[in-house]
Amino acid sequence: MECKPLLSLPGGVFRVQRGSCEDCPLFIRPARQFIHFILAAVIAVLCMREHASAQVQADSAIVVKQILIRGNESTKEQVILREMSQRVGSVLDIAALKRDEKKIYSLQLFNRVESSYEVTDRKAIVTISVSERWYIFPIPIFGFKYRDVKKPYYGAALIHQNFRGRNEKLMASAVFGYDGWFNLAFQTPKLTDDDDVFFRAALSTSSIRNLNVADAEYDQRVTNGSVSLGKRFGLFTLASFSLGYDQWRITDPRPGRTVSSDGMDRFLTIAAGYLYDERDVREFPTDGTYIGASVVKYGLGESEVDLLRFRLDVRRYEALGDGIALGARAFGTFLNGGVSPSYLHAYFGYDERIRGHFSTVREGDNMMAGSVELRVPILMPRYKVVSLKYLPPEFSVWRYGLYAGFFVDAGTIWYRGSQISRLPWHSGYGAGLQFLLPYSMIVRTEYAFNEKGEGQFVLDFGASF
């Protein structure tokens, strides 16, 4: 039986490989319906989303004459102006100006962002006032790997979050404990003032415990380096390309741990990505759309590693009024190619989790999952100015809030060759409190039930999605 087109579009058809379904790439066959659904949802969002505006009528329009930036002692003005939809010469749009506030705050360079305007003779002077964060951190590092309190790590780093005042990141770190690492990285959102080309370079070495719990615990010595280039289009879209080199070394080689028999895998990676992100506040969104897609090729030339991974992540947040928001996410990752070592498998129980099965580790080549969450404010995000004798001004403005969250999660994971119709789906549902803390920190305390009615307490960090 011939493969059907995944999706018909005006002017052409997006098709998979022709021939029998057995000839299709393995990561496409189990995911055809999922990809079909996601692509249709993406096109519906992009084609049908209303671009409503609170602009005044043309016959009474107020035009932006000037945009002033206040409080940016270190940050260049163009870093802030780059995030704004309001420009000199555009019609003043109060709703758009409020969205610009949130987009500037999402840079995570400022504790507070406020806008105001004055109108004279139908011309407006817009003022953006910011309170800068502390940018240079010669600080100790402490955290929990995979957000698991049983896996602490510690060390030190020198981090500059706003190098040269251009939103450039410069970091060197040495971390010990669970999965320690040494890392050097640099990234800039603009190579020059006249372009929108993103650049990143990183070099690291680390010791990583294996994730496949069915095998005995062992260490993986990993060295990798990468360079990335990306182009930003408008305010919300980024296309990227990266090239990297990975080396994975196992001191006790066994089947499945590496592709090569000697316990040492070396391979190049090449990747392409697409990102559309118009979320209002990235650390805890309550409105907007996020679409992320990437294709990664592991192994080029004569490498024994020869794999292709495709990822798709679609999220939508809808503001329902009074600060209440409904969010939905659907994502999947699919593997195709040769032998897959355990370090390139997909996992639940680490970065991706299903509440109700929060600490249960499940492994496979491919994964699909989704979540729906209702966010209800108990204490809307607000600011407090703290005045202490020895407290630097960069730490004196605190943003905080409190939400109640009600959620449903579901997902499945499988190896290539599995019978798709018999895949078990794992699910969970529950509620909890979501604490929004200064410096973009979020702590969640939740209680979740799985499909069997078994309950568990969840302590997690960051927004669920």
What's residue 32's pLDDT? Answer: 53
- Which amino acid type is present at position 212? N
Distance between CA atoms of residues 225 and 351, nearest Å: 21
What's residue 299's pLDDT? Answer: 95
Res 33 pLDDT > 60: no
Res 132 pLDDT > 80: yes
Q: Where are the domains of the chain?
A: 7-48, 58-131, 345-465
What's residue 11's pLDDT? Answer: 36
Which helix (H) or strand (E) is 101 found in, with range? helix 94-105
Q: Average pLDDT for residues 61-69, to the nearest whole number? A: 95
CB atoms within 10 A of CB 406: 15
Res 147 pLDDT > 80: no
Name the band, by pLDDT with cuts 50, 70 and 90, for residue 4. very low
Res 433 pLDDT > 60: yes
Mean pLDDT of the chain: 86
Give the 3-state secondary structure of residue 151: coil
- Give DSSP secondary structure letters for 28-84: TGGGHHHHHHHHHHHHHHHHH------PPPGGG--EEEEEEEES-SSS-HHHHHTT-
Give me the residues paired with residue 446 across strands. 432, 458
- Are 175 and 302 a contacting pair, CB within 8 Å? no
Nearest CA to 311 out of 63, 27, 120 is that of: 27
Q: How far apart are the first and last CA of the chain?
A: 39
Can you read off the two tokens belonging to residue 88? 């000199």
Q: How far is CA 166 from CA 13, 68, 136, 184, 329, in A?
A: 43, 18, 14, 19, 32
DSSP 322: T
Distance between CA atoms of residues 89 and 138, nearest Å: 43
pTM: 0.75
Q: How far is CA 369 from CA 174, 260, 314, 359, in A?
A: 34, 32, 11, 16
More confident residue, 397 or 40: 397
Q: Fold for domain 58-131?
A: Ubiquitin-like (UB roll) (3.10.20)
- Are 367 and 349 a contacting pair, CB within 8 Å? no
Res 56 pLDDT > 50: no
Q: How far is CA 75 from CA 111, 363, 438, in A?
A: 13, 44, 20
What's residue 277's pLDDT? Answer: 97
More confident residue, 392 or 441: 441
Nearest CA to 202 out of 180, 231, 172, 174 is that of: 172
pLDDT digits (tens, 9 = 90+) for 236-253: 999 999 999 999 999 888
